[in-house]
Structure 1
Amino acid sequence: MLELRNLTKSYNGRTVLHALSHQFAAGEFVAIMGESGVGKSTLLNLVAGLDAPDSGEVIVDGQPMSALDDDAATGLRRTRMGFIFQAFHVLPHLTLLQNVALPLLLNRAGLARAGEMLAAVGLAGRGDDFPRQLSGGEMQRVAIARALVHRPALVLADEPTGNLDPETAAGVLELLRAEIKASGASAIMVTHSHAAAAQADKIYVLTRSGLKLSQKGV
């Protein structure tokens, strides 16, 4: 599903990632941990094609990201990837149903699944509500529904529970895992939280020397 080949990325003369190589299996939910500044979010941006490596290659679904022009890369993100962020990025001027339906509209797909996904994340009957009426945990549930509504092959989550209290975070993570497994998607979650990482099938620690599998995944 996803392969990293000798990825290297530097900013302002400082190497963040160096010759990183790894293969992620289809259908796996993987957590990546590591110290601040080690390159976890940078790695997600490279996988998504939002940034380009200095050298090396990201292969998604057999396609090298470097071989895609901007339109093709956008199309790949739109159809094959789903994104969940710490800051939710739920659009305040749209209803919950409209927020969840955005990927379907962009992909010119039927909208019925938007309502189904809202129900799946425990927000049935709330489609006409607006984000201002929600708690943080509920907004993250909307973000999960939006990320999965178009059945992406790869879900990328960047600190998805960083703004939530521990109890709410636990519920959101259980939901995220259940929905990922139900859809058969692969998922990579960057997190500082050991509780969050425990929901993954495997935990990797990103260091200057690469990705190391933790005891959780053995």
Structure 2
Amino acid sequence: MLPPSLECRALSKTYDTKRIVLDQLDFALGKGEFIAIMGDSGVGKSTLLNLIAGLDRADSGDVLIDGMPISSLDDDAATRLRRQKLGFVFQAFHVLPHLTLAQNVALPLLLNGRATQRASEMLAAVGLEGRDDDLPRQLSGGELQRVAIARALVHRPALILADEPTGNLDPDTAHEVLALLREETKANGAATMMVTHSEAAAAVADRVLVLSEGKLHASDSRSRNALPTSHP
């Protein structure tokens, strides 16, 4: 049996010494699996993603990516792991304003010493074909979100973390982007964790979990794996 792409072991995080966000959370995400995380605002969904990505530190517990515990790595090794293994779609895009769209998308490839021609392919896959040389200031918020998604997928990461990836997209584009996320997950044997408030977006996932009281719980059973037809 293949080891999981992601494991969280007894992961705990508390803010202001009293507000428990994550409480001894145990969780595993297998290769090729696409899950959605839902829950009320402020329960810690984005915090969970940040802890997994190593952008924040847990109070206790550990995160393992492809069997490698993050806590055992120094800063340089942790940076290399994120660069090689992770693709992160941020709510705030984090697209670099002075680089063209193709240069933004190609960054993970350049940092990993790989050829960059796939950047144009990924821009086309998110509906931005022929706009390689445009600058971010020429784009709408929804278009910037698509650039961020292309960048997260371009280096075929083992683990994709997506924070509200359809939040700035119109229904048709959201439908296409969710299909692309699922396709890349399955084709590359990656694992995807998507945080979303949208029931329609969550419907594309293999399973849906709800973050509540510091734990992940299975959601009410519903049909899965059909792409959403309503607004995400």
Same fold (TM over 0.5): yes
CA RMSD of aligned residues (A): 1.8
Deviates more, 1:70-79 or 1:87-96: 87-96
Aligned with residue 84 of structure 1, among 73, 86, 89: 89
Residue 106 of structure 2 contacts residue 154 of structure 2 at CA under 8 Å; is this kept in 1? yes
User: In 2, Cα distance between the equivalents of 1:19 and 1:164?
Assistant: 35
Match of 2:227 in 1: none
Aligned with residue 7 of structure 2, among 3, 6, 9: 3
User: In 1, Cα distance between the equivalents of 2:107 and 2:38?
Assistant: 30
Aligned with residue 97 of structure 1, among 99, 102, 112: 102
With over 3 angstroms needed to count, the CA separation of the structure-2 counterparts of 1:217 and 1:75, relative to structure 1, is farther
Aligned with residue 65 of structure 2, among 40, 60, 63: 60
How many corresponding residue pairs? Answer: 218
User: In 1, Cα distance between the equivalents of 2:177 and 2:36?
Assistant: 15
Residue identity opposite 2:133 in structure 1: D
Match of 2:26 in 1: 21
Where does 1:101-120 land on structure 2 (aligned, <5 Å)?
101-120=106-125
Deviations 1:169-211 (A, max 9, x none): 3333233323333333211011111111111111001111511
- TM-score by structure 1 length? 0.92
Match of 1:171 in 2: 176
Q: Which runs of 5+ in 1 are unaligned?
A: none
Match of 2:156 in 1: 151
Residue identity opposite 1:193 in structure 2: S
Match of 1:203 in 2: 208
Residue identity opposite 2:12 in structure 1: T
User: In 2, Cα distance between the equivalents of 1:35 and 1:5?
Assistant: 23
User: In 2, Cα distance between the equivalents of 1:180 and 1:122?
Assistant: 19
Q: Which runs of 5+ in 2 are unaligned?
A: 225-232
Residue 32 of structure 2 contacts residue 186 of structure 2 at CA under 8 Å; is this kept in 1? yes
With over 3 angstroms needed to count, the CA separation of the structure-2 counterparts of 1:48 and 1:143, relative to structure 1, is same
Residue identity opposite 1:157 in structure 2: A
Identity level (%) = 68
Deviates more, 1:82-91 or 1:23-32: 82-91
- CA apart distance, 1:91: 1.7
